[in-house]
Structure 1
Amino acid sequence: MGLIDRIFTTIFGGGRNVIVETAEVFRENSEKGAARDAALREQALQQYAAEFAVARVGRFDRLMDGLNRLPRPLLAFGTIGLFVVAMVDPVWFSTRMQGISLVPDPLWWLMGAIVSFYFGARHQAHTQEFQRSIAQTLARVPTVVENTRALEALRATTPQIADTAPSAATTQAAVTPQDNPALQDWTAARR
């Protein structure tokens, strides 16, 4: 019995388990991993709790909290507002959109990077596309100028657009009876 007892004591004795220790070299101990994950979550929650533990009672703190909540609603309502303006005054909207089409892509990339940074996303621009977009933007300038002139000509304040003001000659022409052969045939058929 002494020999077998020594072998088992060597392998499993003294609070050790050589088989478990060897297996943990190749595979994580699930129980210890879960304990580490729980400790990590607890520390993260403590960090978040510490961030909000400070009482924000000053006017500046309330102002900053309010300003931090503005960008998302402003972007959403601004986009909805563009749709409304497009329906209410299409000429005004189209003129502004023609101007926006002249904004070079690098400036859009910068705007996108700023907005992406604010919302936590990453934005990356490519150098070759940068040069190509500048050339495309410059090529669109004559078309945009022509479109803007055509849109401005559609305004009601532009000369040669129908005048809707009351006119004595127009009113007189509208109430003066004229010959209507179809009406005369219908009247004759009814008699």
Structure 2
Amino acid sequence: MGLIAGIFDLLFGGGRNVVRETAEVFRENAEAGAVRDVEMRGQAMSQFGAEFAVPRKGGFDRFMDGLNRLPRPALALGTLGLFVAAMVDPLWFAARMQGIALVPEPLWWLLGVIVSFYFGARHQAKVQDLQRDISVTMMRAPQVMANLQTLRQMRADSPGAADPGTDAELTAQLTAPDPNPALEDWRRLRA
């Protein structure tokens, strides 16, 4: 008994816990870590609060703060709106995208630069050959017009949308009656 008591006194005596102290060398004390975490969060919140403690003096400041908060949600909601529009009316959406296909490349670069600088991103623009881009865009114009004409013809409310045209085989398939066994049985019973 004296030997066991001596070992316990060595490990836990004198207000010490050698096992706990040794374990804390390899693993953080969870309670002490939680206390440090609470202190750190409190200091961070105090710092954030101090940053916004400057009172806004006038309506212009409040207006500008609100205006600065609009672009990100507007871009996000606008992009989601494009997806919804594409699902609701694909032909309408395709017609609008054909119009976007005519936007010249330098204008896309300018939009990219403006958006990049607005959101704080670094953007290094390359020198673009403006005449080449405009000629490429103008060469696309007849194809865009043909695409728009095809889209107009595909609309369900267009005259002749279901017309098979001059395809005789398709016309024969459309006018041939489908076999209906129930109808054939009914006709046999009536005869």
TM-score, with structure 2 as normaliser:
0.56
- The code of the aligned residue for 2:146 comes to E
Query: Identity of aligned pairs, percent?
Result: 61
Q: Distance in 1 between matches of 2:159 and 2:180?
A: 37
| Code of the aligned partner of 2:149 | R
| Higher RCO (C-alpha 8 Å, min separation 6) | 1
TM-score (norm 1): 0.56
For structure 2, list consecutive stretches of 5 or more residues without a partner in the other structure.
1-46, 163-176
Counterpart of 2:63 in structure 1 is 63
1:73 counterpart SS class: helix
1:161 to 2:161 alignment: yes
Distance apart, 1:67 and its partner CA:
0.8
Q: Which runs of 5+ in 1 are unaligned?
A: 1-45, 163-177
- Structure 2 Cα separation of the partners of residues 184 and 149 of structure 1: 43
Name the counterpart of 1:39: none
Aligned match of 2:93: 93
1:117 partner letter:
F
Q: Are the counterparts in 1 of residues 106 and 128 from structure 2 also a CA contact under 8 Å?
A: no
In structure 2, distance between residues paired with 1:61 and 1:127: 38
Distance 2:60 2:183 in 1: 83
Q: CA RMSD in A?
A: 3.0
C-alpha distance in 2 between matches for 1:127 and 1:55: 45
Q: Could you tell me how far apart the structure 1 residues matched to 2:77 and 2:151 are?
A: 26
Match runs of 1:38-187 below 5 Å: 52-128=52-128, 130-161=130-161, 182-183=181-182
The structure-2 alpha-carbon separation of the partners of 1:183 and 1:108, relative to structure 1 and needing over 3 Å to count, comes to same
Aligned partners of 1:130 and 1:92: how far apart in 2? 30
The 3-state SS of whatever aligns with 1:120 is coil
Aligned mates of 2:144, 2:99 — CA distance in 1:
7
The AA in structure 2 aligned to 1:182 is P
Q: 3-state SS of the aligned residue for 2:145?
A: helix
Number of paired residues? 126
Q: Give, in whole Å, the separation in 2 of the partners of 1:106 and 1:122.
A: 18
